[in-house]
Each structure stands twice: as C-alpha cells, then as structure tokens.
Structure 1
Amino acid sequence: MNAIDEKLQPILSTVLHRNAGEPEFHQAAREVLESLGRVITRNPEYSDEALIERICEPERQIIFRVPWIDDKDQVQINRGFRVQFNSALGPYKGGIRFHPSVNVGIIKFLGFEQTFKNALTGMPIGGGKGGSDFDPKGKSDREIMRFCQSFMIELHRHIGEYVDVPAGDIGVGAREIGYMFGMYKRLNNRFEAGVLTGKGLAYGGSRARKEATGFGTAFFVRSMLAQQGKDMEGMRCIVSGSGNVAIYAMEKVLSFGGKIVACSDSAGYVVDEDGIDLDLVKQIKEGKRGRISEYVELRGGKAHYVAGGQIWDVPCDIALPCATQNELNGSDAKTLVENGVIAVAEGANMPCTPEAVHLFQQAKVLFAPGKAANAGGVATSALEMQQNASRDSWTFAKTESKLEEIMTNIHAACHETADEYGAPGDYVLGANIAGFVRVADAMRAMGVI
C-alpha cells in the first residue's frame, strides 16, 4: 500500500472511526485517499470546506425490512439497503445486489466506487448502490417475484428518474429487474421507463446492456495494450467468474484474437488448453443456470476441472477478475507475476486486494482498476436512460459504438491524468484523480451542501 499524505491522514482516521466494522468501505476509501496527496499539493482549494470529508460521507443511507412468503407459506425476513452516495453530477446511479454477503459496509463501498466510476464515464450521473442479503440461488421464480415485489414496496419511495436510477448487479438480472419494474409501475400508477435500467427490450431496455460491462473491460485492456504497441492476438487469457461480466469479457477478448484458457464459478474452475468453448459456457450458465463443472463432460473430456483452488494458478498473459470483491490476493498476484502475466483488468468491483495491486504495479504489470475497467455497464445504463428520455431505441451496433467510444475516452483520461501528476502508467492513480476532480469541481460549484 502507498503512504497517505499527512494532510489526508486525519480524514482517513475519521472515516475508519465513523464506519467501524466496514472493512470493504475502509479499503475503498483508503485506496482513493492514497491518490489524492498530489492533487491537494497542486490544488490546495480541494482541501477547503471539508470537501474530501463530504465526498467520503454518503448523502443518504437507507436500511429497511423486506418480508416475503416462500413456497412453503412461511414468512421470511431479509434486509434491504440503498446508499445514495453522491448526486453532484446527476441522479444517483448504481446497481442492486442480491447476495447473502450484502451488508451496509459492502453497499457503501460499492456506492463510493460508483461515484468515481460514473464520473469517469463523462455522463451526467451520480453514485449510489443498493441490495439485500436475500439469496436467489435455489429459489423458485415465484419466490423471487414475491421478494422483488416486497423489496420495491419500500424502495419505490426513494427512487425516480431524476432522483435515483438503480440497475442490476450480482444476483439481479433481467428477471429481477422486470419484477421490480412491474411493482414500481403499479405503485406509482405511471410508466416511468427511466427509473430502472437493465430492463428487457420489450419495455424500454437497451441493446448491448447485458454485454456492456464485459465488453467494456475488454475495450479497456485493448487500449492499455495499444498504448504499449501490443494487441491481444494469440494472448492467453483467464477469467474468473462465469456470469454476465465474465461471459461477455470472454466474447470480446475472443473477437480481438485472444485465447481464453480458463474460467470459473464459486465452486471451482475449468481449464481448456484448446480454448474455452464459450457457447458451452453460455449453455450451462445462461441456459441451465448450472455449475461450470458440467463443462468437462459436455466438452467430451477435453478440459479438466479443479474443485476449489485458485484460477490464478493457471499461466496466462491477461487476467480478468470478474467475480467478486477481494477474490485475488497477494499470493495469487505473486503467482500470476511469476507466470508472466502482462495485464490485469478488474471486471468486478475491487476484486484485487491492496497487496495484489501493489505487487502488480511493482512488477510493471498493466493494471486497470474496476472503477475504470468495468465502467462500461453503467455507461450503457446511462445510454439506456438517454433512449428512455427520447422515447428511442438504438441498434446494437450504435450502442456498442458509443460504449467503445466511452471506454476509449476513460482510458485516455486515466492515462493522461497519471502522466499529468507524475505517475505514468499508474491507472489506479489516474482513475482516482480524474474521477475525483470531476466530482469535486461540481461540489465546489454548488457550495456547502
């Protein structure tokens, strides 16, 4: 980890004290503050009027009860969250996550990251995040519908197309968005298409939204490599996860000439030296909602499966952690470096621990932080909001072209900012400072609010 400027140390101490027991939020705040010493040295006005303290404090945190009835007619209780972190650039924007690990600290860290990620897109959107400790795995469609409806009965009072626009995240796909949108429409007695993104095409969704986060991550990696005079042709790539982000990152890497040799799910990983058959992965994960271990049999035994273990043990040129936070630690990073990795990009939110990031940077590995590399999802959500506002529907090609342009611009902003602040090639510092400056300038213009 890098040292924090002495002028920022009291701010970090306050954040740690005020948000006790929230290690993920501590980690996210520390990572941003480590980058800001150079900014306040050059621009002392950014430390006036407790600006940085205000950026680290959510504007609003909402916690609520979600009662629902399961298929055995038993009442179940979950907890719902929405953290509306910062609206300086526009309405709060960020996904909803359904997973047993969800708590206020995780939602707060995600909302904090989202604030800077959204700023990097250049779109008029603020940062927020939400979710519940509900686990959709093993639940029937009816149970999921009842839960989503109950969740929205409370959430609907806090959102709106000019207030807060949620989307999907882990455990929340088109099915869950549909159930929530239907209940929102009924409760408010109006068709407010722009209140949720990630909707189905039949009722206001955007083409390329499902693919956007994974595609965007691949676009960012391509830009990083191009900056070094390289491309993906023939490069070995491993991808953790096998959900939307992982699947579509793999699809775009393949289109750029890369070779995917391994992917995973929460139970283990598969290695296919002939190259992962993406159609099979889609069949297992999107069609059957099955386990990645099924890949070996469907592949006719041409691949092998490792239960548990670490996908990061597989030698590669490019590693894309696309599963969940802190999945890649210092030991994993050391193994990747020893095996010759040249680029790592975070498709998930903060999947690399601080120690892992430090090791990658020490080894001169190209490293793209999530707030830059996985911004394609929220960027396309903002494009969905544009289409909803104009009662329009764009082609897949038009939407993907806009996504590619946004990701290219994000890469340029991170690269140029790192150069400007004397840290060439440091995409973490570049992303943090570029995002911070956009949010901070807007907040300063609005006064102390």
Structure 2
Amino acid sequence: MSTIDQEVAGYYDKVLKRNAGEPEFHQAVAEVLESLKIVLQKDPHYADYGLIERLCEPERQIIFRVPWIDDDNNVRVNRGFRVQFNSALGPYKGGLRFHPSVNLGIIKFLGFEQIFKNSLTGLPIGGGKGGSDFDPKGRSEAEIMRFCQSFMTELWRYIGEYRDVPAGDIGVGGREVGYMFGQYRRLVNQHESGVLTGKGLTWGGSLVRKEATGYGTVYFTDEMMRANGDSLDGAKVIVSGSGNVATYAMQKAQELGATVVGFSDSSGWVETPNGVDIELLRDVKENRRGRVSEYVEETTGATFHKDGSIWDLSADVALPCATQNELNGDHAKALVDNGVKYVAEGANMPSTHEAIELFRAKKICFGPGKAANAGGVATSALEMQQNASRDSWSFDYTDNRLRGIMSNIFNIAANTAEEYDRAGDYIIGANIAGFKKVADAMLAQGVI
C-alpha cells in the first residue's frame, strides 16, 4: 500500500470510529476520499492543517425534539436534525427531508454531499442538510401544519439568510415550506424572505425552483450526451420515481425529444412505451397525492407492474430520481445488458458502489448526483439573490441561468477529470473540482 493510500485509509478509519452506525455517511465519504488520492499525489499541500479531517467533521450538528398534537389530541414526538457541515464558501445551504427513514447518518451523508454540490454551482453557498423522521403521508393538513410549526419553533434560532438557508427535499414541498416560513416570521417578527427557499411565488419564491432539480438533471445529461456524440432527441429514457424531481426530469427530457418509457413510485413501476402524459401524472401525484397505478387507470398504452424492476426496461438513458441506494449492482447489470449508455443521478447517491463500479467497467457515461442534480440548489441560490435584491425574474431568464450553470458544472467536471488523467470519469472530476474550491477557501481562512 502506497503512502497516499495509507494516509487516506487513516482518514477513513477515523470517520468510521467517530461516526459508528452511519453507513450512508461512510459511503459518501469513501467515494470522495477515493477520488482525493490522485489530488494528494499531485498537490500534497491539501493534507496540511488537518484539512481533510476537518472537511469530514461537521461544523455543527443539531438534534432536537419535535412534539406535536395529532387530530385525535394525542401527543406525538419526532426527532429533528440540522447538520451545518461547511460554511467556507458561504451560508449553509441544503434541504429539509421529512421521511421515517431520516436519522443523523442520513442527514450527515446528505450534508457532506451538499458541500461539493454547492461548490460546483460556482455560487457562494456552503453545505448543510436537515430534516425529521416525521412522515407527512396520511396526515391531515392541520397535522402537517402543527408539526411544521413545532419543528420551526426549535430550528429558527439556528438559521438566517446570512447563516443557514434551508429548502425542501423529500416530504417537504411548497406546503411545508409555507407553514415553516409562517412560523419563522412569527417568531422573529420580521419578513426575512431569504431564510428559506422554495417559497410560494407571491411571497418571495422563484420561478423554475419547483422544476429545477429535474430540469437540471436533464440539462446535465444532454451536455454529457453531446460531449460523447449523442443527443436526447430520439432517445429512450427510464426515470425512477414520480415525485417532483422525476416529474420535471420527464417533462424536460420529452421536451428535448426523448421518450420516457418508464417511471415508478414505492408501490410499483409503470411501463410507458409511447411516453408519459406529464399533466395527468402531475394531477395524480401533486393534486391528488395518489399512486402511479391511478395514472395507468386513466390513460392508454401504459402498464403497471408490482413485481420486477423498472431497471429491467430497455433504454438509452437511465435517470434514478427516487432515493439513496435504489440502484444496485444487479440493476446496473440489467441496464447495461439492455443497452443503457448514459446514467445521471437525479436523487442523492441513488447508485450503490457496486453499480457505479460496473458502470465504470463497462464505459457507461455516469453523472454523479453532486453534479447532475445540482440544479435544485443552484436555483435556490438564485432565489436568494432575488430575495436580497427584492427582485423577481422571469421563467425564461431563470431557466437560462439554470441551463448555463448546469453546462458549467459539466464542463468543470469533464475538464478536471482530463487534468488528472481520468478523461470521461465525471465522478472523479466532480469530486475533485468541488473539493479544491472548498479546500482552497478553508486553507485561506485558517484553522477554524
């Protein structure tokens, strides 16, 4: 084992010992550290002043109780989290996730990824993440409002437009952001519109914010395909999920000439050989909060499957847009066998290590989440700009800004990969480019 290998193994061993029982966080750190080996060989000064050890340790971890009363007057207690991971580039920025799977390890993995994702946008935002193990599914509007108000009653003291600016994530959409913003405004006694992003359009929100993560994933995919002599026009695309990210990824892919041949939710998956009726899907998922089986009941040419996997479909492009570790080694093999040439992550870390290694071995072009799904946080930062200037931009202007940012992210990842003799490895390129910007800022600001 080389000296660099031993050094990196030492960093990872410390992470394992200090953060026991947090496998998602371990996975995220391991991927980045593997990329950094070639950085440390070329630029060993990045190991100075405990930089990598500091980078893997959050600046602040906040855990709090969230008591609330359900519609039957029972007291419920959930756990809330906010991990403020790194502020070297700007105020902490990252979403809030409400889902029963949420724990500290998941929030730390998401916050760690957010550091590099935010760095890649080129905008002055640091990395953070938060959420709760509360499940909004099946809860009434009143219960969700009471939970959000209780959650913000504790969180408000740790956030602010120059300190930490949360947004939405899984389980947190415009409704939840609205309830939290209302409670924040009540507690601080001022309309500090820059404290949350994903707000309603009439009270400080930004056009394109809802669409941004899905659109951005497709823009990145389009850049990746064009760089390799292909195009979305005429391509067949699989999209896992049917939430906000997946829906708008489907919409933009079809606008650019692709046919979406399948999508899914936790109840099953839908085969759509003739494409997806986006308006019907939005009605089912956004307005009725229904399941994908309802979509099939109301359209023709679509088939609902409870068994098997959406990754068994034949396609040119796969966009995993649901949740972490949804695409494993067996799924990756099925995709490769069925002709997929491009994979871009719309969700955070949806592909397992085994899946990624297979894609690498088979020369599949792979866009990692920290690059491919950075459109959401980029547009959140654009919302912050509008809030700071008391301005409101048009849809087309904001969408053009988003497309430019995603094009830059792809070019940065591609060029950095080439610089380190790993041409075409966008994971290496994204990890190194995101790391170097944050690392340079941390070294410039001293040991803090």
TM-score, scaled to structure 2: 0.99
| Contact persistence 1:267–1:308 (CA under 8 A) | no
Instruction: Give the match for residue 156 of structure 1.
Output: 156
Matches within 5 A, 1:327-366: 327-366=326-365
Over 4 Å off, 4+ runs: none
Per the alignment, residue 197 of structure 2 pairs with 197
Matched to 2:201, the amino acid is: L
2:143 is equivalent to residue 143 of structure 1 = yes
**Count of aligned positions:** 446
Equivalences for residues 420-431 of structure 1 within 5 A: 420-431=419-430
Per the TM alignment, residue 6 of structure 1 is displaced from its structure 2 partner at its CA by 2.4
Task: Classify the secondary structure of the residue corresponding to 1:66.
Answer: strand
Deviations 1:240-265 (A, max 9, x none): 00011000001110111000010000
Deviations 1:4-30 (A, max 9, x none): 822211000000110000000000000
The SS at the match of 2:230 is coil
Contact 1:94–1:378 (Cα < 8 Å) also in 2: yes
Name structure 2 gaps, 5 residues minimum. Answer: none
Matches within 5 A, 1:20-35: 20-35=20-35
Q: Distance in 2 between matches of 1:276 and 1:193?
A: 36
Matched, 1:258 2:292: no
Deviation at 1:117, TM superposition (A): 0.2
The question of whether the paired residues in 2 share the 8 Å contact of 1:330 and 1:356 is answered with yes
2:310 alignment counterpart: 311
> Residue 279 of structure 1 corresponds to which residue in structure 2?
279
For residues 404 and 95 of structure 1, the distance between their equivalents in structure 2, rounded to whole angstroms, comes to: 21
Letter in 2 for 1:131: G
Q: 2:238 is matched with which residue?
A: 238
CA displacement, residues 223-255 of structure 1 (integer Å, 9 cap, x when unaligned) = 001101211111110100001100000111011
User: Relative to structure 1, is the Cα distance of residues 109 and 4 closer, same or farther in structure 2, using a 3 angstrom cutoff?
Assistant: farther
Pairwise mapping of residues 109-128 of structure 1 onto structure 2 (< 5 A)?
109-128=109-128
Q: Amino acid of the residue matched to residue 57 of structure 2?
A: E
- Measured after TM superposition, the shift of residue 305 of structure 1 is 0.7
Where 1:249 maps in the other structure, the secondary structure is helix
Matched, 1:218 2:210: no
Task: Name the counterpart of 2:74.
Answer: 74
Write the distance in 1 (CA, Å) between the matches of 2:233 and 2:407: 19
The residue identity in structure 2 corresponding to 1:352 is S
Shift in alpha-carbon separation, 1:4–1:129, aligned structure 2, 3 A: farther
Contact 2:119–2:434 (CA under 8 A) maintained in structure 1: yes
Change in 2 beyond 3 A, CA 1:18/1:295: same
CA distance in 2, matches of 1:111, 1:246: 21
- Partners of 2:49 and 2:279 in 1: CA distance: 54
SS where residue 95 of structure 1 aligns?
strand
In the alignment, structure 1 segments of 5+ residues that lack a partner are none
Give, as a single letter, the amino acid of the residue that structure 2 aligns with 1:87: S
**1:367-406 CA distances to partner (integer Å, 9 max, x unpaired)?**
0000000000000000000000000000000000000000
Counterpart of 1:403? 402
Q: Distance in 2 between matches of 1:394 and 1:106?
A: 34
In the alignment, the residues of structure 1 paired with residue 295 and residue 210 of structure 2 have an alpha-carbon distance, to the nearest angstrom, of 22
Q: Does 1:51 align with 2:71?
A: no
Measured on the aligned residues, the alpha-carbon RMSD in Å equals: 0.9
Partner amino acid, structure 1, of 2:331: D
Contact 2:197 2:384 in 1 (8 A): yes
In structure 1, what is the Cα distance between the partners aligned to 2:188 and 2:315? Answer: 51
Counterpart in the other structure of 1:64: 64
Paired amino acid for 2:28: A
Instruction: Give the secondary-structure state (helix, strand or coil) at the position aligned to 2:7.
Output: coil
1:158-195 deviations in whole A, cap 9, x for unaligned?
00001000000000000000000000000000110000
Output one character per residue of 1:390-449: Cα deviation in whole Å (capped at 9) or x when no partner.
000000000000000000000000000000001000000000000000000000000000
State whether residues 4 and 41 of structure 2, in contact with CA within 8 Å, keep that contact through their aligned partners in structure 1. no
SS in 2 for 1:65: strand
User: Which residue of 2 is the match for residue 182 of structure 1?
Assistant: 182
- What is the CA distance between 1:274 and its match in structure 2? 1.5
- Tell me: CA distance 1:100–1:295, structure 2 relative to 1, closer, same or farther (3 Å): same
> 1:275 Cα shift?
1.4
Query: How many percent identity over aligned positions?
Result: 66
CA distance in structure 2 between the aligned counterparts of 1:338 and 1:308, rounded to whole angstroms: 19
- 8 Å Cα contact 1:415-1:426 kept in structure 2: yes
The answer (yes or no) to whether the contact 1:4–1:34 under 8 Å persists in 2 is: no
Amino acid in the other structure paired with 1:242: S
SS across alignment from 2:80:
strand
1:370 corresponds to: 369
Structure-2 residue corresponding to 1:6? 6
The CA deviation string for residues 256-297 of structure 1, in whole angstroms up to 9 with x for no partner, is 100001000011001021112222211111121100011221
Q: State the alpha-carbon separation in 2 of the partners of residues 303 and 243 from structure 1.
A: 18
- C-alpha displacement of 1:309: 2.8
Contact 2:98 2:172 in 1 (8 A): yes
Whether 1:208 and 2:208 are equivalent positions in the alignment is yes
Between the aligned partners of 2:321 and 2:4, the Cα distance in structure 1 is: 28
Q: Which residue of 1 aligns with 2:227?
A: 227
> What is the TM-score when the length of structure 1 is the normalising length?
0.98
Deviation (angstroms), 1:344: 0.3
Contact 2:4 2:40 in 1 (8 A): no
Matched, 1:249 2:234: no
Task: Name the counterpart of 1:97.
Answer: 97
Counterpart position of 2:418: 419
- Name 2:132's counterpart in structure 1: 132
Instruction: Provide the rounded CA distance (Å) in 1 between the counterparts of 2:283 and 2:178.
Output: 22
Q: Look up the SS of the partner of 1:76 in the other structure.
A: strand
- Are 1:323 and 1:351, in contact at CA under 8 Å, matched by a contact in 2? yes
1:308: Cα distance to partner?
A: 4.2
CA distance change for structure 1 residues 156 and 71 in 2, over 3 Å: closer, same or farther?
same
Q: Distance in 1 between matches of 2:44 and 2:57?
A: 20
Match of 2:383 in 1: 384
- Give the partner amino acid of 2:69: I
